[in-house]
Chains A and B, each alone.
Chain A
Amino acid sequence: MMADLIAWVMVLVIAAYACAGGTDYGAGFWDLLAGGAERGKRPRWLIDHAMAPVWEVNNVWLIFVLIIMWTAFPTMFQAVFAALWLPLALAAVGLVLRGAGFALRKPTRRLAQRRIYGAMFAISSLLTPFFLGAALGGIASGRVAVGTTASADAWANSTSVLAGLLAIAATAFLGAVFLCSDARRFGADDLVDYFRLRALLAFAAVVLLALIGLPVTHSDAPYVWEGLTGGLGLLLIVLAAVCGLATVLALLRRSYGWSRYTSVASVALTVGAWGFAQRPYLLPTSLTVAQAAGAAHTLRWLAIVTVIAIVLVGPALVLLYRLDTLGELEPLTDADTRAARTPGDNL
C-alpha cells in the first residue's frame, strides 16, 4: 500500500523532471540549432535569459528520482544501474558538460570561448535526454531484470532508441512552447513567431515518432504496449493527445498563456500513462512494486519526508516561478558589480 503510494510519488517526480528539466533540455536543443554566432545571437540571448534563474531548480528533480529509487526500491535501483550502466554513465557526463557549459558561458566575454561553452551546453542538451529516454525504454521493454548485467541490448534496441528520440522531440516541443511565451514576456516579438514555428515542428516530430513507435514497440515491449493501448493507460494517452492538440491550437491562435499549461499537461499525462501501463511492475514483467519495496518503516518516513518537502518546497517553487514570470528576476550586469572590459573581450 505504502509502496504503491511511493511508486506514484516517483512517477510524479519523473513527470515533474520531464516537464521542468525537459523544458530546459528543449531550450538547449534550440540553442544547438540556432545557427552561427551572428544568426543565433537573438535566440541564444532569449534562451539564456529565460533559463538562467530556473535551470538549477529544474534539474534537482532528477536527484529526487534517484533518491526515491534507492531508498524505497533498492533492488530496482541496483538492477537498473547494473543493466543500464553505459547510458546512465553517459547521461551523467552529459549533465556535467551541460551544466558547466551553461554556467560558464554567461560570465564569459570572448566569442571564441562562448562558442566552446555553448557547444558543450547544446550538444549535451541533446545527448542527456536521449540516454535517459533510452534507459527508460530499456526498462519499459522488459530488458532490465534483477541480475541483468550491463549489455548493449538493454539500451541499444528499437524501443530504447525510439524512447530516446521521443524524449528529445518532447523536450524540443516543451522548450519551444515556453520560449514562445518568454519571447513575448521579454518583448522580443520577432522571436515569438520563430519559436512558434519550431514548437509546431517539434509537435509534428512527436506525433510522427509516436506513430512509428506503435508498430515497432508492439512486439518489442508488449506489456507496456498493452497497458498504453487499453484501460486507464489509454485514457491518459488520449488526454495527453488532447492537451497536445490544444497546445497546437493555442499556438495557432497565438494565445501563448495557455499553451504552456497544456504542453506541460500533455508530457506529464504521458509519463502518468506509462506509470499506469507498467502497473504493478517496476521492472516489467519481473519485479513488482511490492517485491521491490524496501523496509516498511523507511517507506513511512519517506512519505513523511515527501510531505514536508511539499509543504516547504512547494511555496518556494511557486514564488520562484511567479517572480520569474513577472520579470522580477534579472541577472546582475557588469554595471551592478562594476566590471571593466579587459583586452581581448569582444562581447
Chain B
Amino acid sequence: MLSTAALLANTPPQLLPARELMAFTLASHILLVPFGVALPLITLLMHHRALRRDDAVALQLARRWSAVMAVQFAIGVVTGTVLSFELGLLWPGMMGRWGDVFGLGFGIEAWAFFLEAVLIAIYLYGWRRLKPWTHFWLAVPLPLTALMGAFGIIAANSWMNTPQGFRLDAQGNPVDVNVRQAIFTPMFGPEYWHFVVAMFMTAGYVVAGVYAVGWLRGRRDRYHRLGFTLPFTVAAILTPVQFMLGDSAARAVFHKQPVKFAAMEIVWKTDTHVPEYLFGRLNTDGTISGGLKIPQLDSILAGFKPSTQVTGLTSVPAADRPTAVQATIAHWAFDIMVTVGSLLILLALWYAWSWLRHRDLPRSRWFFRCAAIAGVACLVTVECGWITTEVGRQPWIVYNQMRVSEAVTDTRAGSLWAMLGIIMAVYVAVFGAFLAVILKMRTRWRIADEGSASARAALPPESDTPYGPRSEPEPTAAGAAPGGGSDRTSSGAS
C-alpha cells in the first residue's frame, strides 16, 4: 500500500495524458498497419492471376483493392508521421538519452518506407499508361519494402523490451554503443515474425470478410467467390503458423522478461506447478478473483513440465513491476489474443477440410458468418497484442533501464490533455471520414455491378480494354467539370 502511494507521488501529472495520447495515436495507427504491410501482396497475387489467366474479374478486384489502398496508405502516412513527432513531443527523455542507441532501426524503417511510398505511387497511378507486366513487376518489390519497414520498427520496439548493445558509464549514460547488438535483441526474432504474420493474416481476413458479407447477402457470383477465396486462403495458411510463432514469442517473454510474463499470466509468487488462469482479475494483495483456473498448466506451457519454475510479480519491488490493474489489463489482452487465435485455427481447419473433401468452399452459412467477423476479430487481436507488450512492460519505457516517468516531457499536463482532446477529435473525424469514403466506394461499385448484371450476359465482363488508352476519349482538362466526365463514366458502367 505504502509503496503504491510512493509510486503515485513520483508520478508526474503529465504522465497520464502523455500515455493516453501515445496509446490513442498508436492504437489508431496500428489498425492501418496490416493494410500498409500486407494489402500490396494480396493485391499483387490477384493482379498476377488477372494477367496470367487474362481474368477480367480478378483484374477488377485488383484495381478496386488498389483504389482502397490509395486512400488507406495516405491516412497511414499521416498517422505514422504523427507518431514520429510524438516520440519527441511526449518522450524527449527517452530519445535524448537512448536515441543514438536504438534510433537506427527507425532509420532503416524510413528508407524502406520511402521506397514503399515511391513504388506504391507508381503502382497506384500506373494502371492506365504503363504496359501491363511492367506495371506489375514495378510493384513486386512492394511487399519486401513493407517487410523491411516492419523490421526497423520492430527492431526499435524489441530493443525497448530487451535493451542491449551499450554499456553504462559512471553517470549512467550509455556508452560503447554496438549497433548490431542493439538491433538484433533477444526479443527481436520472436516479435518480428509474430508481428509480420499477424499483419498478413489480418489483412487477409478483413478483405475476405468483406466478400463473405456479400456472399451471405446472396451475391454468389464469381467476383465474390474470387474476392473471398484468395485473401482467405492466404490468411488460413498463415493461421497455424501464427499459433506456433505466438507460442514461441510467449516463451521468449518467459525467458527474457519474466516479470512481464508474470503480468500476462497474473502469477503473484515465484513457484513451480503454477496454475493457468483464463481471464480473472488480480487483486492488489495477490489473490485472484474470477477466471477459470487450470492447475499446473502455466508451468507446463512455459517449460513443458509441471515442475517448471515461473517467476512471480513479487520477485521485484512493487515500484519495478506492473500494478495489479496493469497486470490484469495485460492478462486480459493476452488471453483475448490467444482465444481469438485458437478460434481462427478452427476456422482455418474447417476451410481446409472442406477444400480437401469437395475442392470447394464450405457450404454452411455459419462458415461465412464466422469468416465475416474473422477480420474484425483479427483487428481486435492486433490491438490486444500491442497492449500486452506495452502494458506488460510497465513501469519501464526501456525495460529495467528507464521508467516511463523519467522519459516524459516537462510540458504541463493541461497542454497535454488539450492536445489529447484535439487529436481525438481530429482522429475520430478523419477515421470516420475514411470509413465513410471507403463504404461509399463499395456502394458505388455494387450499384455498378448490379446495374450491369443484365448487360453482362451479352458483353464480356470488362468491355473496356484493361490497359492502355481508353476506348472512348478521356475527359481531359474539361473532365474535371462536374457532370461531364463522371456522367459519361456512369452511363458506360451501367
Residues of chain A touching chain B, judged by Cβ–Cβ distance below 8 Å, are: 41-42, 44-45, 48, 52-54, 56-57, 59-60, 62-64, 66-68, 70-72, 74-75, 77-82, 85-86, 88-89, 91-93, 95-100, 102-104, 106-109, 111, 117, 149-150, 186-188, 294-299, 301-302, 305-306, 308-309, 312-313, 316-317, 319-320, 323, 327-342, 345-347
Contact = CB atoms under 8 A, between A and B. Distances in A.
B482 A347 contact: yes
Contact of A53 (B85, B107, B121, B410): B121
Of all A-B residue pairs in the complex, the 10 with the closest CB atoms, nearest first, are A294-B100, A78-B96, A74-B99, A71-B103, A81-B88, A103-B74, A45-B480, A99-B78, A295-B177, A329-B125
Contacts of B492: 335
B441 interface: yes
Nearest to B78: A99
Contacts of A95: 78, 81-82, 85
A86 to B, nearest CB: 8
Interface residues of B, number: 100
A319 B95 contact: no
Contacts of A64: 110-111, 114
Contacts of A117: 433
Given A41-B480, A96-B79, A328-B130, A323 B87 contact: no
Contacts of A41: 480-481
Given A93-B423, A111-B482, A329 B437 contact: no
A340 B78 contact: no
Given A53-B125, A95-B78, A329-B126, A100 B103 contact: no
B63 A336 contact: yes
Interface in B63-119: 63-64, 66-67, 70-71, 73-75, 77-82, 84-89, 92-93, 95-101, 103-104, 106-111, 113-115, 117-119
Nearest to B99: A74
B271 interface: no
Interface in B291-321: none
Given A78-B99, A345-B486, 4 more contacts: A103-B75, A106-B71, A335-B470, A337-B445
A119 B433 CA distance: 14
Contacts of B87: 66, 70
B24 to A, nearest CB: 13
B354 interface: no
A79 B464 CA distance: 58
A240 to B, nearest CB: 26
Interface in B468-494: 470, 476-477, 480-482, 485-487, 489-490, 492-494
A100 B179 contact: no
B104 to A, nearest CB: 6
Contact of B449 (A68, A187, A328, A338): A338
B280 interface: no
A169 to B, nearest CB: 24
Given A85-B409, A320-B118, A323-B122, A297 B179 contact: yes
B161 to A, nearest CB: 19
A176 to B, nearest CB: 18
Nearest to B429: A100
Interface in B141-179: 166, 174-179
Contacts of B452: 338
A28 to B, nearest CB: 14
Contacts of B88: 66, 70, 77-78, 80-81, 88
